[in-house]
A and B are shown apart, each in its own frame.
Chain A
Amino acid sequence: MSESAVRIRDLVVYRGGALVLDGIDLDVAPGTVTGLVGPSGSGKTTLLRCVVGVQKIKSGRVTVLGRPAGTAALRHEVSYLTQSPTVYGDLTVEENVRHFAALYRRSKRDAAIVIERVGLSPKSRQLVRKLSGGQQTRANLACALVAAPRMLVLDEPTVGQDPLLRRELWTHFHNIARAEGTTIVVSSHVMDEAARCDRILLMRTGKIIADDTPEMIRKETQTDDLDEAFLRLIEAPVAVPQV
């Protein structure tokens, strides 16, 4: 077994005086797709921010690809999609993606490919502020993908996207994980989507309350419906064996 892509030990984070992450321990294997699921306010985004290295932490250790999270050397290797679009409204989709392509030393051709991938080719010459929210998220996703990093951290990338495109994007995530060995951590609050991951982490009030493959979670909670499994885990967190 190769070294973990992400290794988190006893991570504690406070934001604005409130405890947000309460002693997280986690290892993520390289080249896998990990889904981070949980209700809003459970600490998903904060955990992702820790992996990216933009979060102040109280205590604990976060190691990404063998280095402390946020180290300068990692910034070519890790790409982060935030929940709200951070693309520039006054630029076109193409200009946005090319800007990030240039920062990560990728070509204009790479930019065109990822724009195609997120289904925005017909809109590539449009100003981002004229696009819908879902399209802006996709433009943003293209900016994160164009970096072709070894580690991709995605905060709710598929909210508001149509089902067909969602399926395509998930297939794409799996493809780059398999083919290029990219490690992907995705947060989502849709259980149905998380079912496509190699592994699901279920978060609640700053703790990971379940950590397993979708199949095992279904089996342990004795339901096929992951939403129902989620409820059972939350209602009886002690009864469920934790891995």
Chain B
Amino acid sequence: MISRNCLLIANRVLRELRRDYRTLFLFTMSPLFVMILVAGMLVETPRTFDRSGLLVMGLFPTAPGFLFAAFAIQRERYRGSLEFLLSGPVTRLDVLVGYLLAFSVPAVAQVALTVSVSYGLLGLDSAGPWWAAALLAMLACVLGVVLGMFAINLAHNELQLTKVLPTVALPHLMVSGLFLPYEDMPGWMQAAATIAPWRYAVGAVSELHLHSSVTSELVLNLSVTVGIVFALSAVTVGTVLRRRTA
């Protein structure tokens, strides 16, 4: 799956990211900013911070992953360079894995920064181990990257993308169980929640918050999220990154 070409593409995307230091800065720092704000808001109620802070730390990385990957792939497609690549000796999987690898590098820095500051300086406390929370944050970021690439299906250009992102993201947040637990939702909403990619990540956070050991529920939720990443990748390869266009 990791070919020479996808490493070359990852290297090139990273180089582009490095030049675009504003994007890189926002990508690595935004979850930390949000964590600091949450900690500031809940400074009087450490127990609430433990719950909400864990949610933010474990889930928020999806947002920058989603946004930045969506725009990067859209740019690649819109500019025609995707077609240029695919008319050469590059496969669609090379492109997808290349982008995933490229975004994983700043994602590791982002998660390391957020997790160490949250546990170390902001006084976050969770029943589950910190490394599981870091793993979840990393997974959330990768999920965001894949979701972002998949979302390109709904937009033809960058302007449309700015309209699609909020209209898709908000309903998704609402059915993911973040505001209302899955068990309390009405039946039709539960049906929608079942296919909401974020729902299982939210479930994983609750497990981390409540249990000190790695529960089967946690493993299940993480595995389903990984499965969603693979499924979305497959659909993205077949749709967004198709070689022949009309």
Does B217 have its Cβ within 8 Å of any Cβ on chain A? Answer: no
In the bound complex, residues from chain A placing their C-beta under 8 Å from that of B8 are 99, 102-103
Among candidates B15, B19, B84, B246, residue contacting A15 with C-beta atoms closer than 8 Å: B246
**B7-39 at interface with A (beta carbon < 8 Å):** 8, 12, 15-16, 19-20
Among candidates B15, B80, B88, residue contacting A104 with C-beta atoms closer than 8 Å: B88
In the bound complex, residues from chain B placing their C-beta under 8 Å from that of A127 are 19
Q: How far is the CA of A147 from the CA of B87 in the complex (A)?
A: 12
Does B243 have its Cβ within 8 Å of any Cβ on chain A? Answer: yes
In the bound complex, residues from chain B placing their C-beta under 8 Å from that of A147 are 88
Given contacts A56-B246, A103-B8, A103-B89, contact A84 B80 (CB under 8 A): yes
Given contacts A75-B87, A87-B81, contact A53 B12 (CB under 8 A): no
Q: Is the CB of B245 within 8 A of A99?
A: no
Classify chain B: how many residues form its interface, as a range: 20 to 34
**Residue on A nearest B18 in the bound complex, by CB:** A90
Q: How far is the CA of A143 from the CA of B12 in the complex (A)?
A: 14
Nearest CB of B to A166, in Å: 23
Classify chain A: how many residues form its interface, as a range: 20 to 34
In the bound complex, residues from chain A placing their C-beta under 8 Å from that of B90 are 75, 103
Does B206 have its Cβ within 8 Å of any Cβ on chain A? Answer: no
**Residue on A nearest B20 in the bound complex, by CB:** A90
**Residue on B nearest A76 in the bound complex, by CB:** B89
**Residue on B nearest A55 in the bound complex, by CB:** B244
In the bound complex, residues from chain B placing their C-beta under 8 Å from that of A52 are 87
Q: How far is the CA of A15 from the CA of B244 in the complex (A)?
A: 12
In the bound complex, residues from chain A placing their C-beta under 8 Å from that of B81 are 86-88
In the bound complex, residues from chain A placing their C-beta under 8 Å from that of B88 are 75-76, 79-80, 100, 103-104, 147
In the bound complex, residues from chain B placing their C-beta under 8 Å from that of A122 are none
Q: Is the CB of A80 within 8 A of B89?
A: no
Given contacts A54-B243, A56-B244, A76-B89, contact A88 B84 (CB under 8 A): no
Given contacts A75-B88, A103-B8, contact A86 B245 (CB under 8 A): no
Q: Is the CB of A86 within 8 A of B244?
A: no
**B62-108 at interface with A (beta carbon < 8 Å):** 79-81, 83-90
Q: How far is the CA of A80 from the CA of B83 in the complex (A)?
A: 9
Q: How far is the CA of A232 from the CA of B147 in the complex (A)?
A: 55
Contact with B along A51-90 (1 / 0, CB 8 A): 0111110000000000000100001101110101011101
Q: How far is the CA of A86 from the CA of B75 in the complex (A)?
A: 10
Does B190 have its Cβ within 8 Å of any Cβ on chain A? Answer: no
A91-B12, A102-B8, A103-B8 provided; 11 other pairs, C-beta below 8 A? A53-B243, A53-B244, A54-B243, A54-B245, A55-B245, A56-B244, A70-B244, A75-B87, A75-B88, A79-B88, A90-B15
Shortest beta-carbon contacts, A-B, top 3: A86-B81, A90-B19, A86-B80
